[in-house]
A and B are shown apart, each in its own frame.
Chain A
Amino acid sequence: MKYLFEWTPSISVGDPIIDAQHQRLLGEVNTLLSYLISEKDDATVANAVKFLDTYIDDHLAYEELYMEEHRYPERENHIKYHKDFIEHYKAFKGRLNGGASREALALEIEQYIGNWWLTHIAVEDHKYAEFIKSHES
């Protein structure tokens, strides 16, 4: 199937470790979406959500350390975006555990979660990438 949320070199942040994490994240969002659409069993969906959950938390924490290491001046502001997303994702999980329909959940991934990631990487992450590039090269 064609994946909706694809990582492309145009959204590289210039750091191979973070790029790999972004690829895995977007891949996992696609996987979850395909599970919801193909009506995989609840346990499989739950495992994918759980993995995504941890992976998101630990990726964002990693990125925050990365910005600290490179003394990115807009770090605090960037962290606010992360916190907002985590709140939103928690609400999504709440709806999932509360028995929301698969269609509604899939729609939320398509319209919000997947797009948030693509936009956040292309816009906000791009800013620290540019900062680091101009200060360290």
Chain B
Amino acid sequence: MRHIIWKQEYSLGISVIDNQHKQFLELMDQAYEAFYKNESKEQLSVLIENLRDYTLLHFSTEEKYFKLFNYDGENEHVERHLQLKEELIGLTKKFEAEGPDVVPALIDFLENWLVGHLSIVDRKYVSCFKEHGL
């Protein structure tokens, strides 16, 4: 089993955001590990719920900064978040219906999404956030 870890290359140089991305990956890793340890569906379900709710909290935080800083890429970025939220709801339902077997694919998907998203879409707000003191 591999571990999902935050890497220096993911850093945006904004500690509040970097910390949330680290936490996001850590929750993925916990779910991944629990799957490979054959934890119960109930236990996995708790971890998937944590992952879902933390994702929402992280997105809300970024979006609150967009508002406060009048970020001009707000609409485009919020649209990406919406797409992922819908994907996430679908994946959570799939987990409820089909059980633990879907966990690795779910986590792989989320990890790829996050890494792609933070290297391209998140980078665009870095200069704006920094100008506002983050």
Chain A interface residues toward B at CB < 8 A: 17, 20-21, 24, 31, 44, 47, 51, 54-55, 58-59, 61-62, 65-66, 68-69
Interface residue total, chain B, C-beta cutoff 8 A = 20
Q: Across the interface, which residues of A come within 8 angstroms of B47, CB to CB?
A: 47
The total of Cβ contacts below 8 Å across the A-B interface reads: 39
Contact B57 A69 (CB under 8 A): no
- B64-100 with Cβ < 8 A to chain A: 64-65, 67-68
The residue in chain A whose Cβ has the minimal distance to the Cβ of B53 is A24
Q: Across the interface, which residues of A come within 8 angstroms of B23, CB to CB?
A: 54, 58
Nearest first, the 3 closest Cβ-Cβ pairs linking A and B are A65-B64, A24-B53, A51-B50
Contact A62 B57 (CB under 8 A): yes
Contact A61 B61 (CB under 8 A): yes
Known pairs A55-B57, A68-B68 / 12 extra A-B pairs, C-beta < 8 Å: A24-B53, A31-B46, A44-B43, A54-B23, A54-B54, A58-B20, A62-B64, A65-B61, A65-B65, A66-B64, A69-B64, A69-B68
Q: Across the interface, which residues of A come within 8 angstroms of B56, CB to CB?
A: 20
In the assembled complex, B126 has its CB within 8 A of some CB on chain A: no
Contact B61 A58 (CB under 8 A): yes
Q: How far in angstroms is the closest Cβ of chain A from B131?
A: 17
The residue in chain B whose Cβ has the minimal distance to the Cβ of A48 is B46
Q: Across the interface, which residues of B come within 8 angstroms of A68, CB to CB?
A: 68
Q: Across the interface, which residues of B come within 8 angstroms of A61, CB to CB?
A: 16, 61
The residue in chain B whose Cβ has the minimal distance to the Cβ of A63 is B64
Q: Across the interface, which residues of B come within 8 angstroms of A65, CB to CB?
A: 61, 64-65, 68
In the assembled complex, B119 has its CB within 8 A of some CB on chain A: no
Contact A58 B58, CB 8 Å, known A47-B30, A65-B64, A65-B68: yes
